[in-house]
Structure 1
Amino acid sequence: MAGLSRRTFVTGTSVAATWAALSLGGAQFASAAARERALAATAARAVQVTGTTLDQVATPVGSGAYKRLTAGPGWPLVVRGDLAAPGSGRDDRRTGLASFVQFSDLHLVDTESPVRFEYLARFTGAAYRPQETLNARGVSALVERVNSLPGGPYTGMPFSMVMATGDNTDNHEHAELDWYLTVMGGGRLAQNTGDPAAYEGVQNSGSGIYWNPELTFQDEYKAKGFPQVPGFLTAAGRPFDAPGLRMPWYTTVGNHDDSLEGSLPDFGLLNDLYTGEYKLEGCNDAEAAQLMESLRRDPAGAALLLGKLLATGDLVRQITPDERRRPFTLKEFAKAHLNPAVTGAGPYGHGFTSDMVSSGKLYYTFRISEKVVGISLDTTNQAGFADGSLGTAQLRWLEQQLKAHSGHWYDTDGRKVTGGSTDELILVFSHHTSTSMGNLLPDPRNIFEKRHDGNELVALLQRYPNVVAWVNGHTHANKITAHGHAVPERAFWEINTASHIDYPQHGRIIEIADNGDGTLSLFTTLIESAAPYGTDFGSTSDTNLAALYRELSYNDPNGRVSALLGSGQDHNTELLITKPTR
C-alpha cells in the first residue's frame, strides 16, 4: 500500500470504482480485501498518512470485560458529496489553501479538588473517569503527535496553527489553567494540588465505587477487569516535561472554563470550598439524586446543597488546602494567556488581547492562512447549565466580521448584496454546536441582553457564501453535519470533534483545498496521541502512563464509546462544497 502513487491509482481505476472505494469509510466491509482496497485508495490520494487514523487506529483485543488496545487497520477516507458533487481528476488540480489542527475538550482536571461531584458518576459519567489523573500526560502526548507530523495528509501543507475549541479546563481553577497553558506552550508541570508528596482524591479513598489502582481490594472497577498498578497515583502526580506545540495556537472559551463543573453559575460563593480542607467523597442515594436534580434544574440550589454536604456529610475527607484551586473569571482566563512566559510558538495572547481582558468580550478574528480567516466565538452563558448561546452584541459583531471578509452576501429577504473588494474563505470556531445552543437564560454579564440560539447562528452563516465551515466541540463526539443542501451558495459544513478526556481522545486535522473546478474540498483527518497502544501494568514510566490514559478511557464503564466515536462519515472525510464566487 505504501508503494502506491496517487497518480498510478487514479489513472488505473475508474472514477466510479474510486468513488465506491472511498465511500466505504467506517462501514462494515464485506471482507478484509475490501478494507484493504479502500485503504489503498485512501493512501493513493494522500501525500502521506503516517501518524494519522488513515494509517492505524486503536483497536480492542481480548475476550474479557477489560479490553487491551493494539494498532488496528486505519479508517479509509469517506467522500461526502452532500453539498457538491466530486469531480474527476480533482486530485491532480488540487491547490492547498489552509492546513491546521483542532483540539477540543481537553479538560485539564484537578482530581483532588473539593468542588467535584465524583459520587454522581452513577448519573453522569462525566463526574468521574478512571483515567482522569493521567489527563495532563495524555494531552501532552497529543501535542507530541502534532509536533511529529510534517503537515496535512492531503495538501502536504505544514500546520499554520492549532485551535482548542473550549473546555480547556475542567472546573475553571487557576491550577488547571496553568496546566493547560503549560501543556500547550511547553514546560514542567505536575498534575497535583494540595500536598505535593501525596494524592488526596477519590482513587485512594477505599470506596468501592471508584477505581483504587494501588489498593488490593476488589472495587467495582477491578470487578470489571481493571488492574492494580503499584505506584500509579504517586507517578501520576509527579512532575514531567511537556514539549509544547511547535506552531502557533489559539484558544476558544468553553462552559467548563467559566462555571462550576461546566454547569453551575459561579458568583464566588464557593471560593472558600475550592481552596479549603474538606472534600466530599460520597453521599447516600437520596442526597445524590437530589444533587443531580438540582444540577439539572436549579444550579444555585445545587451549589448550596454541595456546601451543606461538605459541612455535614459522613464521607468527608480532610485534605491539604491550596490557593491554586481558586476559580478564575473569564477576564482572568484571558489575562493568563497574555503572560509572556506562555507565548511559546505564539501568537502573543493566543487570540486574546488586553482590551478583551478589560471588556470580558472573548471573541476575535484571526488569520489562518493567506486566503482563510478564522472567527472565534464565546458561546458560554454564565447563567448556568452546560449549553450555550450568543448575546445580541456578539451576534452583531459577528455579522460585521462576516461582511468585512465577504465580497457579497444575502440580506434577510434573500437579496444579494455586493460588499467590498475583500473576498476570503471564513471558518467559524466555537465551543458549542448548533444543537447545543439553546440556553437562552439571561446572562449575568448583561442581564437585559437577548440571547440567540444555534438556529439563528446557522441562519446567519448561511447568508454568507464565504463561510465554508463551523468547527466546534462540547458534545465529546465526532459528528459532521451538512447545512444548506437546497442552495449551494448557502451551504457550509459543521465539524464537531470528540474530546481528549473521554475515548476516543481524538484531535482533528482540517485542510482546505481548491479543486480547480468550482469546488473546494475540506479534508478532515482524525489523529490519536503519540502514546503507544500497548500498556504495561507493572510500569509507571511517563510513556506508559500516557498509554494507560487511552486504554482506561476505552474501558470506563460509564463511558459511551460507540456514541462518541461517530461513524465513518464523521471520521476521515473529504467534504465537498461549492467555491464562492462574486
Structure 2
Amino acid sequence: MRTAAAVHPLRESLGERSRMSRIRSAASAVAALDRRTFLTAAAATGATAGLGIAFGPGSGSAKASSPATARTVGRRVAQAPAAPSDAGTTLETFSAPITGTEGYRRLGDGPAWDRRIRTDITGAKAGREDRRTAIASFVQLTDMHLADVQHPLRYEFLRSGRTGAWRPHEALTVVGLASLIERVNGLRGGPATGAPLSFVMTTGDNTDNNSKIELDWFLTAMNGGRITPNTGDPRHYEGVQNSGLKEFWHPEQELRDSDKQLGFPRIEGFLDAALRTVNSPGLRLPWYSTIGNHDDLAGGVYSFGADYIADIATGKRKLQLIPGDEAAAIYKGQRKGADPKGVDMKALVEAHAKEMRTVTPDERRAPFTQKEYLAAHLDPLAAGPGPVGHGYTKDNLEEGTLYYSFRISENVIGISLDTTDPGGHYTGSIGTAQLKWLERTLKEHKDDYVIVYSHHYSDSMDNMNADPARPGEARHGGDEVVSLFKAHPHVLAWINGHSHQNEITPHDTFWEITTASHVDFPQLARVIEVVDNHDGTLSLFTTLIEAAAPRRTDFEDLSQTGLAALYRELAFNAPGASQTLAGDPDDRNTELLLRKP
C-alpha cells in the first residue's frame, strides 16, 4: 500500500490469406525457436498489423458527439516478432548499491527482479504457455518531470522544512529521459511474447512546473532533436546549486553543504555539463500523451491566476529558501489541499520579496494553458513518429477537452483520461461531462477490450474542487470510476502513475497498474503485453525497464551518457527520498490473470 508521505505533492509517471502469409513470414524468421516461442511469435505477427493501424494522423478521437470513434488511419508495415527476451529489462538485472551501507553509495548491476504470477482475480490454467497469442504490446512512461531548475518559482525553498522537497539530480531530467528513450528504442519486442511493441503512452507529469520551455523540451525529447536545458542567462547557471545556501548540494564548490555532509561528491564542471545541449534520439515508436497535475498546475498544486504566475515565472526575482517552520507549515497545508488557488502561497512570496535572488528574466518560462498544451501537441512539426496530436485531435482543441480514445489493435481500444482538477490541489478527479463521455465510450466499444490510461490512480482521485472553466459541474472521484469499470468487464486494465511508486491492485474484473516515476529512484518505465490464453483467461504481462545508461558511474565522465548514469545514482542517494517506491515484488514484473469477458 502507498503511504501518504511517499511522494512530495510538488514533485511529483488481421483476411485469412494475408494472415497466413504473415505467419509463414514469421515462421521463417524464428525457425530456430522452440514450439512455445514459435506459437507466440506467429500469433503476435497476426496481431501486429492490427496493433499498427491506428498510428496515422487523426487516429485518436474525443469528439463528444461520437466519443468512441477511435478512427483508424494509415497502416504500418508489420514487423516479424522477436524471441521473448529479458535483455534490457529488470528481469535481467536491476541497479543496486555496490559500496557501503550508509552515506553516499555507488551503484552497479544488481540482482534481477523475477516475474510473479498473480491469480487474485482468477486462476492460472496449465498449458497456457503453449496456447497464448499476443493482442497488444506497448510501453508506459510516467512522471518524467522535465524541470527548468532555474525557474523563479520552484518550490525548492521548502527544503528547509522538508528535505525531499528538492532533488539533487533535477538538473539532469532531460538527459535522463533521452537515455530512457534509448532503452525503449533498443527493445526488439515484448519481453514475455516477443510481439513487436506498437506504441508508447505517457501518463502525465511530463513537465514539472507547467512551463512552456519544459513542454518544448518534452516534445523535442520524445520526437528527437537537440535540447539545451538552460534558461535565463545562457552563460551562467542561476539556481540554488551555486546559491551559497548550505541546504542544497553545490557540486562545484568546497562549501560543506548538507548533502556533502552525507557523502555527495564534488564534481568540477557539473553545472556547465548539466546545461549543455542534449541530443535525444526520439522514440522510434508512435506515442500518445496523457496530462498530469504538474503539466496543468503551477508546481503541480496551485490554480494561480494566469497573470500572476506569468509575471513571477518570466520575471527577475527567484525565491530560494524560507525559514524551516514556515516551509513545514506550507507543506502540511499542501498535503491537505488547504490552498488550491495559491492565496497563501502568493502572500508568502510577497512577504519574502526582499530575500529573493536576482536572475535573468526569460519569456520562455511562461505557464502554458490547456489550449496551448493541445496546440503544441497538434503542431505537425511535433508529430515525430506520429500520430499528429499524439492522441489529441482538433475536436479536443475546439471543445477544450483533454481526453480521447484510440484504436490499439483489431479488438483493443485505449482511452486516455484527464484526471487533473483545474481547481487546484495535486490529487485528481473528473468532471461530469468526461464521466458521461467515458460511459458512452465503454458502451460503444462493448465488443472490444479496453485499456484505460490516466495520471492519477484511483485512491488519489478525491479532489472535488470546482473547475474554474466549468464552475457548475460536479467532480467525480476514483470510487465512481472503479465502479464504472466493474460494470464493463471488457475493461482489462487501468494504467496510471502519480504516486511515483509501483503498485498493482486487483479490482474484481480488471487490474489497476501504477508505475514508478522516471525522476525518483527507482527510475522506471513499464512494458505491458496483453495475451489471450485461449482457455477462458487473458494475461497481462508487466515488465519494468531502466534507462540505457550504465549503472556504474564515473565522476569525471560528464558526457551525455555519463550524466545519465549519474542521474540514476544521485536519485538513489537523494536525501529524504522514499525507500518504498519500488513496491513489493508482486507490483513489479508480473503475469496478471483475468477472466475473459
Change in CA separation of 1:362 and 1:246 when aligned onto 2, cut-off 3 Å: same
The secondary structure found in structure 2 opposite 1:297 is coil
Is residue 593 of structure 2 the alignment partner of residue 576 of structure 1? yes
Partner of 1:331: 371
The secondary structure found in structure 2 opposite 1:121 is helix
When the two structures are aligned, how many residues end up with a matched partner? 517
For the residues of structure 2 that align with 1:280 and 1:57, how far apart are their CA atoms? 38
The secondary structure found in structure 1 opposite 2:413 is strand
Partner of 1:79: 117
Q: Tell me, yes or no, if the aligned pair for 1:202 and 1:281 is still in contact at 8 Å.
A: yes
Is residue 199 of structure 2 the alignment partner of residue 170 of structure 1? no
The secondary structure found in structure 2 opposite 1:85 is coil
The secondary structure found in structure 1 opposite 2:179 is helix
Q: Tell me, yes or no, if the aligned pair for 1:280 and 1:309 is still in contact at 8 Å.
A: no
Change in CA separation of 1:123 and 1:252 when aligned onto 2, cut-off 3 Å: farther
Which of 516, 537, 546 is the matching residue for 1:528? 546
The CA deviation string for residues 479-512 of structure 1, in whole angstroms up to 9 with x for no partner, is 000001xxxxxx1000000011111010000000
Is residue 318 of structure 2 the alignment partner of residue 279 of structure 1? yes
**Counterpart residue type for residue 515 of structure 2:** T
Q: Tell me, yes or no, if the aligned pair for 1:273 and 1:307 is still in contact at 8 Å.
A: no
Partner of 2:459: 435
Q: Tell me, yes or no, if the aligned pair for 2:161 and 2:324 is still in contact at 8 Å.
A: no
Matches within 5 A, 1:400-549: 400-406=440-446, 423-484=447-508, 491-549=509-567
The CA deviation string for residues 143-184 of structure 1, in whole angstroms up to 9 with x for no partner, is 000000001011211111100001111110000000100111
For the residues of structure 1 that align with 2:525 and 2:328, how far apart are their CA atoms? 35
Q: Tell me, yes or no, if the aligned pair for 1:47 and 1:155 is still in contact at 8 Å.
A: yes
Matches within 5 A, 1:261-276: 261-268=299-306, 269-276=308-315
Partner of 1:386: 426
RMSD: 1.7
Q: Tell me, yes or no, if the aligned pair for 2:544 and 2:589 is still in contact at 8 Å.
A: yes
Moved more, 284-293 or 466-475: 284-293
The CA deviation string for residues 214-240 of structure 1, in whole angstroms up to 9 with x for no partner, is 111211101111000100000000112
Give the Å deviation of 1:119. 2.1
Which of 155, 161, 164 is the matching residue for 2:199? 161
Q: Tell me, yes or no, if the aligned pair for 1:291 and 1:306 is still in contact at 8 Å.
A: no
Is residue 328 of structure 2 the alignment partner of residue 304 of structure 1? no
Give the Å deviation of 1:289. 3.5
Structure 1 portions without partners, runs of 5+ = 10-45, 407-422, 485-490
For the residues of structure 2 that align with 1:367 and 1:306, how far apart are their CA atoms? 47
For the residues of structure 2 that align with 1:303 and 1:280, how far apart are their CA atoms? 12
Give the Å deviation of 1:301. 2.1
Q: Tell me, yes or no, if the aligned pair for 1:253 and 1:431 is still in contact at 8 Å.
A: yes
Which of 248, 253, 261 is the matching residue for 1:223? 261
Partner of 2:290: 252
Matches within 5 A, 1:541-560: 541-560=559-578
For the residues of structure 1 that align with 2:192 and 2:325, how far apart are their CA atoms? 54
Give the Å deviation of 1:8. 9.5
Q: Tell me, yes or no, if the aligned pair for 2:160 and 2:322 is still in contact at 8 Å.
A: no
Q: Tell me, yes or no, if the aligned pair for 2:160 and 2:324 is still in contact at 8 Å.
A: no
Instruction: Report % sequence identity.
Output: 52
Q: Tell me, yes or no, if the aligned pair for 1:479 and 1:495 is still in contact at 8 Å.
A: yes
Q: Tell me, yes or no, if the aligned pair for 2:161 and 2:325 is still in contact at 8 Å.
A: no
Moved more, 492-501 or 537-546: 537-546
Give the Å deviation of 1:6. 7.2
For the residues of structure 2 that align with 1:372 and 1:157, how far apart are their CA atoms? 15
Q: Tell me, yes or no, if the aligned pair for 2:178 and 2:281 is still in contact at 8 Å.
A: yes
Q: Tell me, yes or no, if the aligned pair for 1:270 and 1:303 is still in contact at 8 Å.
A: no
Change in CA separation of 1:242 and 1:125 when aligned onto 2, cut-off 3 Å: farther
The CA deviation string for residues 360-411 of structure 1, in whole angstroms up to 9 with x for no partner, is 21000011222211000001101111000011110000001001110xxxxx
The CA deviation string for residues 119-151 of structure 1, in whole angstroms up to 9 with x for no partner, is 213545553100100000001100000000001
Partner of 2:43: none
**Counterpart residue type for residue 596 of structure 2:** K
The secondary structure found in structure 2 opposite 1:134 is helix
The secondary structure found in structure 2 opposite 1:446 is coil
**Counterpart residue type for residue 475 of structure 1:** S
Is residue 270 of structure 2 the alignment partner of residue 232 of structure 1? yes
Give the Å deviation of 1:274. 0.3
Q: Tell me, yes or no, if the aligned pair for 2:462 and 2:478 is still in contact at 8 Å.
A: yes
For the residues of structure 1 that align with 2:322 and 2:591, how far apart are their CA atoms? 49
Partner of 1:33: none
Which of 59, 77, 86 is the matching residue for 1:49? 86
For the residues of structure 2 that align with 1:505 and 1:362, how far apart are their CA atoms? 27
Q: Tell me, yes or no, if the aligned pair for 1:121 and 1:558 is still in contact at 8 Å.
A: no
**Counterpart residue type for residue 230 of structure 1:** E
TM-score, normalised by the number of residues in structure 2: 0.84
Matches within 5 A, 1:84-103: 84-103=122-141
Change in CA separation of 1:125 and 1:222 when aligned onto 2, cut-off 3 Å: closer
Change in CA separation of 1:354 and 1:217 when aligned onto 2, cut-off 3 Å: same
**Counterpart residue type for residue 239 of structure 1:** T
Partner of 1:16: none
Is residue 436 of structure 2 the alignment partner of residue 396 of structure 1? yes
Give the Å deviation of 1:311. 2.0
Which of 565, 571, 575 is the matching residue for 2:582? 565
Partner of 1:69: 107
